[in-house]
Amino acid sequence: MRLERGRRSQNIEDRRGARSSGRRVSSGRGMKVGGIGGIVVVLVGLFLGVDLSSLMSAGGAPQSSRSGGQLTQSSSTGRSAADVEAERLVSVVLADTEDVWTKLFQQAGQRYQRPKLVVFNDGVRSACGFTSSAAGPFYCPGDNQVYMDLGFFRQLKQMGAGGDFAQAYVVAHEVGHHIQNLLGVSMEVQRMQRQLPKAQANALSVKTELQADCYAGVWAHHAHKDRQLLEPGDLEEGMKAAASIGDDVMMARAGAPVRPERFTHGTAEQRQRWLYIGLESGDPTRCDTLSNV
């Protein structure tokens, strides 16, 4: 990604070093909305439309290794180069989602409310209760905030989904849950899930997660169109990441039987497909996963 083209968001709160104690399981108001899932790799080659084809890797090595700046003024001392780079990425991508969604909401005659993104270590308290880093990044509808332990990016890389655009996809996916919250989807889905047997509630969760993937794609479309933030290789990274966190791939990787009734985020194929629908169209109305998956 060409992160140097982007501005940094003011809506990041650094809670690293602020010790959170408490139980692992959420007990606060509201259910937290699924994180990104876990994360590894599959290749997808065919991209259509716009000038997305120019973003396919020409076999080049990953780019943007320039590090820079601080997440917040007081927080970046003693950080590793990888942390500083991750801080920059999260800040620039969050800022870009602010610009893209502000524009898209305006076009729909609505006003976008920017979410805050909280960076934490180990565990964090939110309106959704206490959550361990092990749960991965998540969005809490109760306080309109995205929560991320930047260490998740290392896990992502270990699972084969490295690269800055894969990381950006994680941020944009969580912002996708914020969009769902603003549009009233989250509340409606949670209301329905409380009345459904587990397998059907999981199926609804899959639809919600795929919509967040699609919204992540919508963001990337506009980030590229408006600011040329993407560069060759980025789409491949995103598609690899989407595949690597498919429920079927993750279950197989864990050596577990693949049980579709337990899927909560969608298969690798579904996650790639919906990310791509958003990417190719740039149109959030195309992200209607609730009526067709």
Neighbours of 143 (CB within 10 A): 16
Q: State the Cα–Cα distance between residues 267 and 30, nearest whole angstrom.
A: 26
How many residues bind to Zn ion according to rule CB under 5 A? 3
Amino acid in the structure at residue 2 = R
Minimum distance of Zn ion from residue 290's CB (angstroms):
15
Q: Evaluate the CA torsion angle 103, 106, 112, 114 in order and state its sign.
A: positive
* Footprint (CB under 5 A) of Zn ion, residues 14-73: 34
Is residue 212 within 8 A of residue 174, CB to CB? The reply is yes
Closest listed residue to residue 35, CA positions, set 155, 221, 171, 166: 171
**DSSP structural state of residue 40:** B
Residue (88 or 265) nearer to Zn ion, CB:
265
HSE toward the beta carbon, residue 128, CA cutoff 13 A: 22
Q: State the Cα–Cα distance between residues 258 and 183, nearest whole angstrom.
A: 33
Indicate whether 209 belongs to the interface with Zn ion (CB under 5 A). Answer: yes
Q: State the Cα–Cα distance between residues 219 and 169, nearest whole angstrom.
A: 9
Residue (37 or 233) nearer to Zn ion, CB:
37
Tokens 């149109």 -> residue: 283
Closest residue to Zn ion in the complex (CB) = 34
Minimum distance of Zn ion from residue 36's CB (angstroms):
6
Minimum distance of Zn ion from residue 147's CB (angstroms):
12
Indicate whether 6 belongs to the interface with Zn ion (CB under 5 A). Answer: no
**Token pair recorded at residue 157:** 């890389």
Q: State the Cα–Cα distance between residues 71 and 65, nearest whole angstrom.
A: 17
Minimum distance of Zn ion from residue 69's CB (angstroms):
28
Residue (52 or 159) nearer to Zn ion, CB:
159
Closest listed residue to residue 129, CA positions, set 34, 29, 221, 255: 29
Minimum distance of Zn ion from residue 34's CB (angstroms):
4
Residue (209 or 236) nearer to Zn ion, CB:
209
Minimum distance of Zn ion from residue 139's CB (angstroms):
7
Minimum distance of Zn ion from residue 185's CB (angstroms):
12
**Bridge partners, 124 (sequence order):** 131
Minimum distance of Zn ion from residue 104's CB (angstroms):
19
Residue (12 or 212) nearer to Zn ion, CB:
212
Q: State the Cα–Cα distance between residues 75 and 15, nearest whole angstrom.
A: 9
Is residue 255 within 8 A of residue 219, CB to CB? The reply is no
Indicate whether 213 belongs to the interface with Zn ion (CB under 5 A). Answer: no
- Interface with Zn ion (CB under 5 A): 34, 209, 212
